[in-house]
Amino acid sequence: MAGETTLSLLIRDMSPILNPGSYVFCTLESAAQLQGCEPLGSFREREGLTAILERGEADRLGLAYDYHAAWITLEVHSSLSAVGLTAAFAAALAQAGISCNVVAGYFHDHLFVASKDAERALSTLRALAANAQAE
């Protein structure tokens, strides 16, 4: 099932939601350090494995981290081949002074922002969507 590719519809219908919990990015030498814990997401880099975990799981495993994030999901089913959505929300968040780390899933885009910026990020994204509806 292919997702939406029309930028104006993607922005208008992004419907950002704030997921419960606190999330952290950990770097590991090996997935074995996860001790069977399934990360929310991961990516293998030359330097090691980056794992996105619920903060409590990282604490339980004794893993180091230095970034506390809130997780926002854009509910619109965006196509992996869509052009411009990331640029649009990244620009809006940057203008508001909010750092954003993006993970694209098959169905949705997932944004990780500093926990302290969660509500402001949500407001910024909702305003972006509302402005797109008005156009």
Q: State the pLDDT at residue 2.
A: 80
Report pLDDT digits (tens) over 60-91.
999 999 999 999 999 999 999 999 999 999 99
Q: Give residue 135's pLDDT.
A: 67
Under-50 pLDDT residues of the chain: none
DSSP string, 100-119: -EEEE-SS-EEEEEEGGGHH
In whole angstroms, what separates CA 113 from the centre of its chain? 7
Domains of the chain from N-terminus onward: 7-134 (3.30.2130.10)
For residue 32, the model assigns a pLDDT of 87
The answer to whether the predicted template modeling score (pTM) of the entire model surpasses 0.85 is yes
